[in-house]
Structure 1
Amino acid sequence: MDGRGREMINFLPLIYEDELLFSVISRYKQICGMESKRALEMDLFKIYKRMGRKSVLFPQYLDTFVSNLPPTSKLSIKEIITNHTMYPFYTAMLSEQKSQSVFIAMEKGYGKCIENMVGMAGSKVKSTNYLRYCPKCYKEDLEEIGESYWRRLPQVPGALYCPTHKVLYKDSNVVITDCRNDFYCVDEDTCNTEVMMDTNPNQFMLLNLRYMENVSYLFKQHVIKKDLTFIINFYIDRLRERGLASKGGKIYIERLIEAFLSYYPSDYLELMQSVVDIEKEANWLRLFVRNNNKNRSPLRHLLFLQFLGITVEELYSTKSTTGKQTILLKRTPLFDVEERRKQWLMIIEKNPGVSRSQLKQIGKGLHTWIYVNDREWYEEVTPRTRERKQKAEIIDWEKRDEGCLEFAKSAVERILNAEGKPIRITPSTIRREIGVSRWFNHAKLLKTRQYISDVTEDIESYRVRKIVWAIEEMIKQGEKLTVYKIQLKAGFGGGNKGIKDIIIKTIM
Structure 2
Amino acid sequence: MHICLDRTGFNTTSIFFPQYLQRLRKNLPPYSNVTVSELIWNHTMFPFYTAFLSQERSDSIHGMMVDGCGKSIENSLGFSGGKVKPYNRLRYCPKCYAEDMDEFGESFWRRLHQVPDVLYCPKHGVSLKSTIVPSTEKYADYWCADSDVCNTEVEDDIYDERIKELNQAYIRNAMFLMSGDYKKKELHHIVDFYVDRLRERGFASARGFIYVQDFVDEFLRFYPSDYLSLMQSDVNVNQKANWLRLFVRNNGKNRSPLRHLLVLQFLGVSAEEFFHEQTTTGKIMARVNHAPSFDLEQRRKAWLKIIEENPGLNRSQLKEIGKGLHTWIYKHDRDWYEQVTPRIHKRKKRTPVIDWAKRDEECLALAKQAVESILNREGKPIRVLPATIRQEVGVRRWLDNPKLVRTRRFIQQVTEDINSYRIRKIKWAISELESEGLSVTVYKIQLRAGFGGNNKEMSELVARVMQGIYK
Q: TM-score range by the shorter chain?
A: 0.5 to 0.7
Q: How does 1:103-502 map to 2 (within 5 A)?
A: 103-326=62-285
Contact 1:154–1:162 (8 Å) recurs in 2: yes
Q: How does 1:17-96 map to 2 (within 5 A)?
A: 22=1, 50-96=9-55
CA distance in 2, matches of 1:149, 1:50: 30
- Counterpart amino acid of residue 156 in structure 2: M
CA distance in 1, matches of 2:182, 2:193: 16
- Counterpart amino acid of residue 115 in structure 1: E
CA distance in 2, matches of 1:216, 1:89: 9
Contact 1:58–1:106 (8 Å) recurs in 2: yes
CA distance in 2, matches of 1:116, 1:327: 39
CA distance in 1, matches of 2:107, 2:249: 44
- Counterpart amino acid of residue 66 in structure 1: R
User: How far off is 1:117 after superposition?
Assistant: 2.1
CA distance in 1, matches of 2:179, 2:193: 23
User: How far off is 1:300 after superposition?
Assistant: 0.1
User: How far off is 1:49 after superposition?
Assistant: 7.0
Contact 1:142–1:148 (8 Å) recurs in 2: yes
Contact 1:134–1:170 (8 Å) recurs in 2: yes
CA distance in 2, matches of 1:75, 1:222: 19
User: How far off is 1:51 after superposition?
Assistant: 4.7
CA distance in 2, matches of 1:50, 1:203: 50
CA distance in 2, matches of 1:326, 1:110: 42
- In structure 2, the residue matched to 1:413 is none
Q: Per the alignment, in what secondary structure is the counterpart of residue 132 of structure 1?
A: strand
- In structure 2, the residue matched to 1:487 is none
- With 94-103 and 216-225 compared, the bigger mean Cα shift is at 216-225
CA distance in 1, matches of 2:166, 2:66: 36
Q: Per the alignment, in what secondary structure is the counterpart of residue 132 of structure 2?
A: strand
Contact 1:247–1:327 (8 Å) recurs in 2: no
- Counterpart amino acid of residue 65 in structure 2: M
Contact 1:84–1:152 (8 Å) recurs in 2: yes
Contact 1:52–1:112 (8 Å) recurs in 2: no
CA distance in 1, matches of 2:206, 2:161: 38
Could you state the TM-score of these two structures normalised by the residue count of structure 2? Answer: 0.60
- Counterpart amino acid of residue 204 in structure 1: I
Q: Per the alignment, in what secondary structure is the counterpart of residue 323 of structure 1?
A: coil
CA distance in 2, matches of 1:173, 1:265: 30
- In structure 1, the residue matched to 2:400 is none
Gaps of 5+ in 2: 288-377, 380-390, 396-471
User: How far off is 1:309 after superposition?
Assistant: 0.4
CA distance in 1, matches of 2:72, 2:138: 10
Q: 1:130 to 1:95 in 2, by over 3 A?
A: same
Q: Per the alignment, in what secondary structure is the counterpart of residue 130 of structure 2?
A: strand
CA distance in 2, matches of 1:235, 1:287: 12
Q: 1:181 to 1:280 in 2, by over 3 A?
A: same
**Alignment RMSD:** 2.2
Q: Per the alignment, in what secondary structure is the counterpart of residue 11 of structure 2?
A: coil
- Counterpart amino acid of residue 209 in structure 2: K
Greater Cα radius of gyration, structure 1 or 2: 1
Q: How does 1:94-105 map to 2 (within 5 A)?
A: 94-105=53-64
User: How far off is 1:72 after superposition?
Assistant: 0.2
CA distance in 1, matches of 2:80, 2:63: 19
Q: Per the alignment, in what secondary structure is the counterpart of residue 14 of structure 2?
A: coil
Contact 2:6–2:68 (8 Å) recurs in 1: no
- Counterpart amino acid of residue 273 in structure 1: Q
User: How far off is 1:189 after superposition?
Assistant: 0.6
CA shift digits 1:182-210 (9 cap, x unpaired): 11110011111111221211111110000
Gaps of 5+ in 1: 1-21, 26-40, 329-480, 483-496, 502-508
- Counterpart amino acid of residue 200 in structure 1: Y
CA distance in 1, matches of 2:75, 2:5: 26
CA distance in 1, matches of 2:81, 2:5: 33
Contact 1:54–1:179 (8 Å) recurs in 2: yes
Q: Per the alignment, in what secondary structure is the counterpart of residue 173 of structure 1?
A: strand
CA distance in 1, matches of 2:160, 2:262: 18
- Counterpart amino acid of residue 131 in structure 2: S
- Counterpart amino acid of residue 125 in structure 1: V
Contact 1:138–1:148 (8 Å) recurs in 2: yes
Contact 1:248–1:327 (8 Å) recurs in 2: no
Q: How many residues align?
A: 292
CA shift digits 1:300-350 (9 cap, x unpaired): 00000000000011111111210000379xxxxxxxxxxxxxxxxxxxxxx
